[in-house]
Amino acid sequence: MDDQILYRQIYHALKADILNGHYPPGSQLPTESELIQRFGVSRVTVRNALSLLQREGLVARIPAKGTFVRRNEVPSSTPKLIALLALDVQLDFFGKIIRGAEQEAAAQGYKLLVCSTDNDAEKERQCLLELQSHVAGFVIAPATGNQNHAHYGQLLVQGIPFVFVDRYLPEFNIDRVTSDNVQGGYLATRHLLELGHRRIGVISARKATTCTERLRGYQQALQEFDVPFDPALVAHAVGKRRDGWDEYLHQGGAQTRALLNVPDPPTALFAMNDLLAAGALRYLRERGIAVPEQIAIVGYDGMGLSDLVSPSLTTVEQQSLRMGAEAVRLLVRRIREPDSPAHHVILPVNLRIRASTAGSVALVTSSVFLTTSQVKGGGF
């Protein structure tokens, strides 16, 4: 029998079992292997049937856990409260996201509750558990090394919407708002290449989609200038975590020291955020290495400190205020239209050129504008 007919037959059979209560809300459907055995079909056919159920909002698929029947009952009164889980409320970057989110929440008739996770997955998990019954939805900047996939999946099963902001987990195809980090990494690296640098070191934060995308832009610029990618020039987070600013300042200095000790050291540095760049500047100043005469530096974020450090910092500027507002706008839309397709909003970035790479100040604008991508099927 044609696969198109088979997967629809399986879809109708499972849908009937869900609607008649055989699989009640919150329960897990049989595994793919069990469904293959039950219906005598291929894995692709089973997955097509499950995808159709997912697109209709009947089930949620949780990575490494399985497929669960969603709870779609609407509470008698939806809470007019939104929770924003930020990595560190002390950082200017997240402070602007919070302000943008708060302004948009007020405009939409909601109040904003902020929870600082300190970029710690366990603290994030506690925030999710404590707040999920009190809020209409979440705006989340997921912690690095996140282990909360099951909790995100349960939010979807329970019908509690959430939106990723700044960074995301690629396993979940849900609404998200990010900067054009690939373009940002490209603009920063191209600027240094145009200044004549060919050995460009990378100072990285702990692994997240923001860093992997910026590194992709870095590699694209190298390729455009026919400069081979050297993994020895990409430093990685070292040592134990510290609190707040100290973590980034320490990492910036430690990674700069490591990069300057490679056999053919870099003549320029691209730091994945402005605090890492500030840590690098502090280390270079202590070593008596002149910036930009001996080594140039580009940061990322456009934090207020980038114009206050000495020398002033060339940096990729993000629209963090707008990022927070867009995230709340997407969340409110999701609350009102729970079955609408997922939206991925990518905000453009600018390169602000200052004294850490050149003597004059200039602005290089990304050619990428706000784009909204609709992906069929919500959830995952």
CATH of the domain at 7: 1.10.10.10
Residue range(s) defining the domain that contains residue 14: 3-69
- Does residue 12 surpass a pLDDT of 70? yes
- Domain termination site, one of 291, 320, 349: 320
What predicted TM-score, i.e. pTM, was given to this entire model?
Answer: 0.78
Confidence band for 323, pLDDT divided at 50, 70 and 90: very high
- Does residue 42 surpass a pLDDT of 60? yes
Least confident piece of the model among 122-126, 264-268, 270-274: 122-126
Q: What is the pLDDT of residue 368?
A: 36
CB atoms within 10 A of CB 186: 24
> Are residue 312 and residue 190 in the same domain, yes or no?
yes
Question: Is residue 256 a part of any domain in this protein?
Answer: yes
CA distances from 125 to 116, 149, 152, 155, 219 (A): 12, 10, 9, 12, 34
Question: Is residue 333 a part of any domain in this protein?
Answer: no
- Does residue 30 surpass a pLDDT of 80? yes
Least confident piece of the model among 68-72, 227-231, 349-353: 68-72
**Which stretch, 91-95, 188-192, 308-312, 333-337, has highest mean pLDDT?**
188-192
Residue of higher predicted confidence among 167 and 149: 167
Question: Is residue 149 a part of any domain in this protein?
Answer: no
Q: What is the pLDDT of residue 4?
A: 58
pLDDT, tens digit (0-9, with 9 covering 90-100), for 339-371: 888 999 999 999 999 999 985 445 555 543 333
Residue of higher predicted confidence among 215 and 339: 215
Q: What is the pLDDT of residue 242?
A: 58
- Does residue 222 surpass a pLDDT of 80? yes
Q: What is the pLDDT of residue 201?
A: 98
Percent of the chain with pLDDT over 90: 55
* Kind plus residue range of the DSSP H or E element containing 288: none
Q: What is the pLDDT of residue 363?
A: 55
Question: Is residue 16 a part of any domain in this protein?
Answer: yes
Question: Is residue 82 a part of any domain in this protein?
Answer: no
Please, are residues 374 and 349 in contact by the beta-carbon 8 Å criterion?
no
Total domain count, the chain: 2
Q: What is the pLDDT of residue 285?
A: 96
Nearest partner of 97 among 323, 330, 316, judged by Cα: 323
Map residue 226 onto helix, strand or coil: coil
Q: What is the pLDDT of residue 76?
A: 45
Work out the mean pLDDT of the chain and round it to a whole number.
Answer: 86
- Domain termination site, one of 69, 84, 114: 69
CB atoms within 10 A of CB 349: 29
Averaged pLDDT for residues 126-150: 88
Which CATH number characterizes residue 281's domain?
Answer: 3.40.50.2300
Question: Is residue 346 a part of any domain in this protein?
Answer: no
- Does residue 318 surpass a pLDDT of 90? yes
Residue of higher predicted confidence among 368 and 126: 126
CB atoms within 10 A of CB 212: 15
CB atoms within 10 A of CB 208: 24
Question: Is residue 371 a part of any domain in this protein?
Answer: no
Confidence band for 320, pLDDT divided at 50, 70 and 90: very high
Burial call 54-65: b when 16+ CB within 10 Å, e when fewer: beebbbbbbeee
- Does residue 133 surpass a pLDDT of 90? no
Residue 7: what residue type? Y
Confidence band for 3, pLDDT divided at 50, 70 and 90: low
Q: What is the pLDDT of residue 244?
A: 62
CB atoms within 10 A of CB 197: 22
- Does residue 171 surpass a pLDDT of 50? yes
Averaged pLDDT for residues 214-238: 95
Q: How far apart are CA 172 and CA 169, in angstroms?
A: 6
Q: What is the pLDDT of residue 375?
A: 34
> Are residue 185 and residue 312 in the same domain, yes or no?
yes
Q: What is the pLDDT of residue 379?
A: 33
Least confident piece of the model among 195-204, 213-222, 332-341, 349-358: 332-341
Q: What is the pLDDT of residue 241?
A: 62
**Which stretch, 38-47, 163-172, 182-191, 242-251, has highest mean pLDDT?**
182-191
Q: What is the pLDDT of residue 345?
A: 97
- Does residue 8 surpass a pLDDT of 90? no
> Are residue 64 and residue 193 in the same domain, yes or no?
no
Would the CA dihedral through 107, 108, 110, 112 be positive or negative? negative
Averaged pLDDT for residues 46-68: 77
